[in-house]
Chain A
Amino acid sequence: MNRTRNLIGTWVGFLLILVWCLLPVVWIISLSFKGVGETAAGSPQFLPKDPTLQNYKDILNDGDFLDALRNSFGIALIATFLSVIFATLAAYAIARLEFRGKRLVLSLALAIAMFPVVSLVGPLFDLWRTFHLFNTWPGLIIPYMTFTLPLAIWTLSAFFREIPWEMEQAAQVDGATSWQAFRKVIVPLAAPGVFTAAILTFFFAWNEFVLAISLTSTTKSRTVPAQMSYFVGPDPFNPPYGQLATASVVVTVPIIIIVLLFQRKIVAGLTSGAVKG
């Protein structure tokens, strides 16, 4: 009796979580198939009356949007790559070596993770104009590195702490050179952690909005979130629903693919930095 009740409870909970997570996503997909006629007339119904692909055609022919998409990919990938390299070096040192200032580095990272990004916008705006970094890719890549390093360092040092480093020495005793020992033993053990940090970093850079609208002025470097906010048009209460929904679907697709492929790693990464004791 109690067992059945538990099972029913779990099922209900399961369905509630699915609805919670997916309803807005299904809604935005549904909107992306509604024609201009339907949204302009006002269409409170959930599914499109007359599904159309017109929004997708429009979006994929929109040069500004494609530029933004290219900027987003380029900036996010470069920032992720550099940030993960720096974070790996730092996390290795933190997990493996004894040096003065170790706690200081961790505290600095923690402080930056909590930093209100907007409070840097003014001075950075000024500084970037002086150094001609305003409205350029590096102008976004550098701050993105700054704000993803803390998460990457924390996640990676938690991962690295669990690697049995003695195995490296054992391999050396068995006759491997230190490079061989590092490459054959440590790299395969560390790779999953590094990869997880890379995914989380990419998510951040893909999502970031405040800096993207403040430090760019044209589609030369404007990323998708910023570009989408300029889509709105003159009347903020009557946005071009269908096109915005379609753009939303397009930028969400990469995220969904990453989540589908790597959900286990992402969960491990998210929780290891913060909770693992």
Chain B
Amino acid sequence: MSTTTAGRPGKVVASDRAKAENRLGLKLVAPAVVVMLVVTAYPMIQALYLSLYRYRLTTPDDKEFVGLSNYLTILSDSLFWQDTVNTVIIMIVTVAIELVIGFAFAMVMHRIVFARGAIRTSILIPYGIITVVSAFAWQFTFSINNGWVNSWFAWLPWIGPDTNWFGEHWPAMFAIMVSEIWKTTPFMALLLLAGLSQVSEDMIEAAKVDGATWWQRLWKVILPNMRAAIMVAVLFRALDAFRIFDNIFVMTRGAQDTESSSFLTYRQVIEQFQLGLGSALSVLLFLTVLLLAWLIVKLFRVDLAQARGEG
């Protein structure tokens, strides 16, 4: 796979040429690395530092070292836990549903012989549309006054013309998750389609000849062979879903306890100018994402290097 390094001088002949190549390589990546670090590493260190202070922008003279007390405040606050639970629920539900629907879409796209361009174009539209716009579209869809959900689904016993989706916790969470699933399923479908096209047709054919049913071929041949693609898709989407912010900001502004971890952090810092407390939240959020990434990689033994042909 990686053929570019073949035939290059090994370490034994650490010639001038190899040294020059090393220097050139470092020079070429330097600008990108600097830009990436300036906006992430420095602010993260700053956040660590600020999180140890009581620091409100409205009363800057009151800045005082408080040690870990910001963390204690947060971890003993039920709002923090409520928001974390919301975020985890949104992440698990949306990724699970996206995986199933995305896989179904990928199967259709894989088999389809006509109108490939049309289907590819339409599946990219939800991916490309900005999240704020998709959130508005779905907010209006579920709107009690102007939405079509209540009239189209009136045949369901629990839906009537005055069903207020944004008036209660679970219906509001449902609407938020629908908007998230709508927008990101196409991305999942595209990744899975790429994985699907790597499963050898011969193997599927052989299984067919051996008398395996469609279901058996799916579970015994297709899915195991696209494990890497599935895991990478799940990892990326899960971490992405954990950062959910735009939809909630637009659709409920956190009303009906639909706030996410990201939203809570934003609110503390930008709306309430609580830089100390907000920074502690930032650090916790960052650590949670790290832990999550580590868990997913360990649990599913995702080999990212292998998945992208590095190994």
Contacts and interface: CB of A to CB of B under 8 A. Distances in A.
Nearest to A109: B36
B147 A44 contact: yes
B224 interface: no
A117 B279 contact: no
Interface hub of B148, B195, B293 (most chain A Cβ within 10 A): B148
Interface in B184-223: 185-187, 190-191, 193-195, 198
Given A108-B36, A123-B44, A256-B125, A93 B29 contact: yes
Contact of B130 (A103, A225, A258, A274): A225
A22 interface: yes
Nearest to A256: B125
Contacts of A177: none
Contacts, number: 335
B5 interface: yes
Contacts of B265: 118-119, 121-122
Interface residues of B, number: 116
A209 B129 CA distance: 13
B124 A267 contact: yes
Given A25-B125, A119-B265, A259-B124, A114 B289 contact: yes
Contact of B249 (A99, A206, A209): A209
Contacts of B72: none
A255 B129 contact: yes
A121 B270 contact: yes
Given A142-B38, A209-B131, A276 B246 contact: no
A100 interface: yes
A207 interface: yes
Given A21-B123, A158-B308, A270-B187, A105 B140 contact: no
Interface in A151-181: 153-154, 158, 161, 165
Interface in A201-257: 203, 206-207, 209-210, 213-214, 224-225, 228-229, 236-239, 241, 244-245, 248, 251-252, 255-256
Contact of B245 (A18, A122, A209, A228): A209
A109 B29 CA distance: 11
Q: Interface centre among B124, B129, B133, B304, by most A CB within 10 Å?
A: B133
The dominant DSSP class at the B interface is: helix
A191 interface: no
B52 interface: no
A225 B194 contact: no
For A28, A122, A145, A263, which residue has the most chain B Cβ atoms within 10 angstroms? Answer: A122
Interface residues of A, number: 107
Contacts of B161: 44
B39 A241 contact: no
Interface string B123-149: 111111111111011111101011110
B22 A99 contact: yes
A274 B129 CA distance: 21
Nearest to B114: A14
Interface of A: 6, 10, 13-14, 16-18, 20-22, 24-25, 27-28, 31, 39, 42-46, 86-87, 89-90, 92-103, 105-106, 108-110, 112-127, 142-143, 145-147, 149-150, 153-154, 158, 161, 165, 203, 206-207, 209-210, 213-214, 224-225, 228-229, 236-239, 241, 244-245, 248, 251-252, 255-256, 258-260, 263-264, 266-267, 270-271, 273-277
29 contacts: A6-B111, A17-B108, A21-B125, A24-B138, A25-B129, A27-B141, A28-B140, A31-B146, A39-B145, A44-B147, A44-B148, A44-B150, A90-B32, A98-B5, A100-B22, A101-B29, A106-B310, A118-B285, A121-B282, A122-B282, A123-B42, A203-B128, A214-B269, A239-B139, A255-B130, A259-B121, A264-B117, A266-B124, A274-B307
Interface of B: 1-2, 4-5, 8, 18, 21-26, 28-29, 31-33, 35-40, 42-44, 46-47, 50, 104-105, 107-109, 111-112, 115, 117-134, 136-141, 143, 145-148, 150-151, 161, 166, 182, 185-187, 190-191, 193-195, 198, 228-229, 232-233, 236, 239, 242-243, 245-246, 249-250, 252-253, 255, 262, 265-266, 269-270, 275, 278-279, 281-283, 285-286, 289, 293, 304, 306-310
